[in-house]
A and B are shown apart, each in its own frame.
Chain A
Amino acid sequence: MTYEAVIGIETHVELSTSSKMFCACPVDTDSEPNTNVCPVCLGLPGALPVMNEKAVEWAMMIGHGLNCEIVGHSVMSRKNYFYPDMPKNYQISQYDLPLCINGHLDIETDEGVRRVGVTRVHMEEDTGKSSHIGGDSGRIQDALYSLIDFNRAGTPLMEIVSEPDMRTPAEARAFVSELREIVLALGVSDAKLEDGSMRFDGNISMRPGGTEGFGVKVEIKNMNSMRSLQQALEYEIERQTELLVDGHEVVQETRHWNEGAGKTESMRSKEEAFDYRYFPEPDLVPLAVDEAWDRRVLAELPELPSQARSRFEDLGLDPEAAALVARGETGPLFAAAVEAGADPKSAANWLTGEVMAWTRRNNTDPAATPLTGKHIAQLSTMQGDGRLSASAAKEVLGWVLAGEGSPEEVAEARDLVQMSDAGELQGIVDYVLAENPEAVAKLAEGDEKVLGYLVGQVMKASGGKADPKLARELLAT
């Protein structure tokens, strides 16, 4: 019997609003520990939460980005459990009445487009950050002591819950990656997996291929990258399939992905699962979203990646190139480049090729460099009219990214402009012809091979600045 995986993903996204979910403290985790705190986000006795309206609007934007219904009457609830970096020992979250429901997201798979249901998008607050000092594992169990930074406590956090509509780890990865593109396009979060501003948990069960029921579900935590998501799910499929094939049962539990060991480990069983004792948060009134408010938010919704992709295809890019360049890192630059008059194909090539390669090498992203859409337009024009050779253009781009100025300025200052003026080049051609009578004779006899040699001589004489195509034309006549 063959087994099929049933996968659902829960994603948490920290919003980059200027202030926290329930107080006026800035959202800024780079500051000195415990400096962006107040009675509210420290959970001091007597302090009360007040809803950040911007965070609600951004949550609505995510809801719209995922084709959800926005619920007119939603309620904040208290999720009760004790944890030292959670100041109130309850998290203000949403439970039975979340803000956004019944959405979906289309992802590209090997078998075409698959529609993944989005059960809900709800709002909650993030916890502080613990560092466990003195142990080998970095976990609380064997630490000597722990330090807590509450700067992150109270940061607006969105939880996005998918339906169990994915069947392969690759689909799960495609879902998370498309979700990240949407969040980036909306500009509501920096969605950095490495910083934890976007994180996800998976749940996975196996069932006999071709059946519709659900097997016993296992939840997986601590998957900190797209790669570990895929690896953890692959590992789990193998583990659960093996159990089932051998006639064992899968245990309902939560498992921890151990990146180093490359396997999942049991964290807690169903019996040890928390009872969160949810109840409506009495310190906050229910959230009322009327149509007018929703319309205002919808009107300000930026272009979504899927819309960008089809717009870019309309500009003449093939679907793969459009998908590549529409990504959050490059999409806005591409649009700006085309706006500035760049040839779409050439701009897409530059962005997905050299620009991404350079930023990866330098551990940054395009938005953090001085590169503008105008620069890309200039670069593609200079290459198109022969003023820059392919290799010179690459070099120019590197200097532009490093902040030396526009392509025109860099090419000028570094003397990289090609000799593409026939009049200027003719003198060098005449000189080379005069210096190589033998080759000229062979050429006259129709020996085309020497033409290459002569072009090489022109390049050498011009110090590499001659446009080889033009040189060839001039030599041949």
Chain B
Amino acid sequence: MSDLADLTISAAGVGLRSGEFSATDLLEAVHKRATMTEADLHAYLTIDRVGAAKAAVAAESAFRRGEDHGPLQGIPIALKDNMVTRAIETTASSKILAGWVPPYDATVVSRLKQAGSVIIGKTNLDEFAMGSSTENSAYGLTRNPWNPDTVPGGSSGGSAAAVAVGSALGSLGSDTGGSIRQPASFCGVVGVKPTYGLVSRYGLIAFASSLDQIGPFTRTVGDAALLLQAIAGHDPMDSTSYQGAIPDATSGLDAGVQGLRIGLITEMMGGEGYDPEVIAATRATVSKLENAGATVTEISMPSVDYALSAYYLIAPAECSANLARFDGVRYGLRVGGSTTEEMMANTRGEGFGPEVKRRILLGTYALSAGYYDAYYAQAQRVRTLVINDFNRAYETVDVLISPTAPTTAFKVGEKASDPLAMYLSDICTIPSNLSGHPGMSVPVGLDAAGLPIGVQILAPALGEPVMFRVAAEIERQAAFADRAVLATSAVPR
């Protein structure tokens, strides 16, 4: 391997343990890659060189002492900047949190540290995770490594781009309506939204609490399983975190799909807004699974047509409350005023970007007296229908498959002024956020323009083992992982 930054997590683990290279060597390769690519891509908001160097040295001495905390020891990992990190500025890409240095670590951050991983820094996102292109960042947009004229997707665009380009071996994102899976698809990497409650949300700056879930970005399905196992598990600080035994995502990676029942979601296999190349790639993927011994059926899920509308009521409603705390009183930006109310209004007026304001207004309206039943309560009923549709589907199939997004990466600026067109980018991912079920995106090929296409695998609650089992087979059939390094060649070094 010519460049350590192009290694997978598992390959790097082998090299670290054999003494072929040290954690510091690995970190330096990743830093070098970041230095080469950041000016063009802007995947990172903050790179913590000092903290990472210390963590790499600590991992090295742990190896020397014969201490092994598992597959992430010494591995450079990036974090989406909506996960709080003690002593590292955390802004969620918002002006309203400029300069805020949290006094505590999110649970996922503590777990990564305990596992011996090296936190490289904090990646760019759409402000407060609201967006699908990482253009809504107060600190400038992130570009797609495969073609810098296109967006990396969002909201976890920075985390996806960093992994694609090799300025991280793995990263964490958060997925509220597709914010891990859609950018994974756009950037040609693997992205996982686990079952709601599998990964603690403590320390994740909330967008929509009942939908938010943290998950990994990696270059391979196997790496994603390793990263997921390290962060999953009950957290007493998060009442919504799952208390039972954690399903082992790594358990079926080599099992193949012989005998598995796969459903193709009819409503997501074409129609307005769907790119025929994406549909064709999805069908080709399913055929390969069929050849590998799976049975495939088409399954109609009528409620998913209403999922987007329900999502754009529930998520804004929750965000309108979640973001109320940013008022200039205790932390972050404060813009003065002659009364407390004026100070709060001025702070929020200047501190929030237009998309955040749009969603706060939407949510406030949906919860208002006289409108609650027509909007919020109705959306919750649709949510129940979506859950019922999924549960019915999983009576007859083991996993569901669809495109991850209707299109490949779109041009920077293309949808920036048309929020509704932007919202449609998440039409395939949103239903599983409403149901709380797991989903992941696996790259399967490139379109004619040379941009990656991702296929989405959905599974029932805690169905991570079967979801990863199918994902691993898709990865083997597509042989895309070997091409992941192509991403780096698209960017001048």
Contact = CB atoms under 8 A, between A and B. Distances in A.
B202 A47 contact: yes
B493 interface: no
A284 B317 CA distance: 16
Nearest to B344: A82
B50 interface: no
A20 to B, nearest CB: 14
Given A39-B103, A78-B321, A90-B324, A279 B376 contact: yes
Interface in B72-123: 83-84, 90, 92, 97, 100, 102-104, 106
B237 A84 contact: no
Contacts of A88: 321, 324-325
A46 B83 contact: yes
Interface string B152-176: 0000000000000000000000000
A87 B317 contact: no
A275 interface: yes
Contact of B203 (A46, A84, A146, A284): A46
Interface stretch (B273-281, B304-312, B326-334): B326-334
B20 interface: no
Contacts of A285: 239-240
Interface stretch (A48-56, A154-162, A253-261, A394-402): A48-56
Interface in B320-366: 320-321, 324-327, 329-331, 340-341, 344, 364
A282 interface: yes
Given A87-B330, A285-B240, A44 B104 contact: yes
A197 interface: no
A42 B369 contact: no
Interface stretch (B204-212, B253-261, B465-473): B204-212
Contact of B236 (A44, A50, A282, A283): A50
A282 B176 CA distance: 14
A466 to B, nearest CB: 72
A46 B239 contact: no
Given A80-B321, A82-B327, A283 B84 contact: no
A224 to B, nearest CB: 23
Given A46-B204, A82-B344, A279-B317, A89 B330 contact: no
B340 A89 contact: no
Interface residues of A, number: 30
B318 interface: yes
A42 B84 contact: no
A80 B364 CA distance: 10
A278 B209 CA distance: 15
Interface string A280-307: 0011110000000000000000000000
Interface in A24-54: 39, 42-51
A89 B239 contact: no
Contacts of B84: 44-46
A219 to B, nearest CB: 17
Most chain-B Cβ atoms within 10 A of its Cβ — which of A43, A44, A275?
A44
A425 B202 CA distance: 82
Nearest to B376: A279
Given A46-B84, A78-B321, A80-B324, A283 B240 contact: yes
Contacts, number: 99
Contacts of B238: 48, 50
A44 B240 contact: no
Contact of A49 (B102, B239, B324, B330): B239
Contacts of A87: 325, 330
Contacts of A283: 206, 209, 239-240
B203 to A, nearest CB: 4
B201 interface: yes
Nearest to B201: A48
B399 interface: no
Interface in B369-404: 369, 372, 376
Contacts of A275: 368-369
A275 B327 CA distance: 19
B367 interface: yes
A89 B327 contact: yes
Given A275-B368, A283-B239, A46 B205 contact: yes
A50 B321 CA distance: 18
A449 to B, nearest CB: 81
Contacts of B205: 45-46
Given A88-B325, A90-B321, A46 B202 contact: yes
A48 B344 CA distance: 23
A361 interface: no
A280 to B, nearest CB: 9
Contacts of B331: 44
A44 B103 contact: yes
Nearest to B317: A279
A437 B353 CA distance: 110
A148 interface: yes
B340 A84 contact: yes
B90 A45 contact: yes
A89 B209 CA distance: 16
A349 B246 CA distance: 66
A48 B237 contact: yes
B318 A282 contact: yes
A357 interface: no
Given A46-B84, A84-B327, A87-B325, A277 B202 contact: no
Contacts of B97: 45
B330 to A, nearest CB: 7
Contacts of A284: 239-240
24 contacts: A39-B103, A42-B330, A44-B331, A45-B326, A46-B102, A47-B202, A47-B203, A48-B202, A48-B237, A49-B239, A50-B238, A51-B239, A80-B321, A80-B367, A82-B324, A84-B340, A84-B344, A88-B325, A140-B340, A277-B368, A277-B372, A279-B318, A282-B240, A283-B206
Interface of B: 83-84, 90, 92, 97, 100, 102-104, 106, 201-206, 208-210, 236-240, 317-318, 320-321, 324-327, 329-331, 340-341, 344, 364, 367-369, 372, 376
- What are the 4 closest A-B residue pairs judged by CB atoms, nearest first? A89-B324, A277-B367, A282-B210, A282-B209
Interface of A: 39, 42-51, 78, 80, 82, 84, 87-90, 140, 146, 148, 275, 277-279, 282-285
Given A46-B84, A46-B204, A277-B367, 17 more contacts: A42-B330, A44-B104, A44-B331, A45-B205, A45-B206, A45-B325, A46-B83, A46-B202, A47-B202, A82-B344, A84-B344, A88-B321, A89-B324, A140-B340, A275-B368, A277-B320, A277-B372
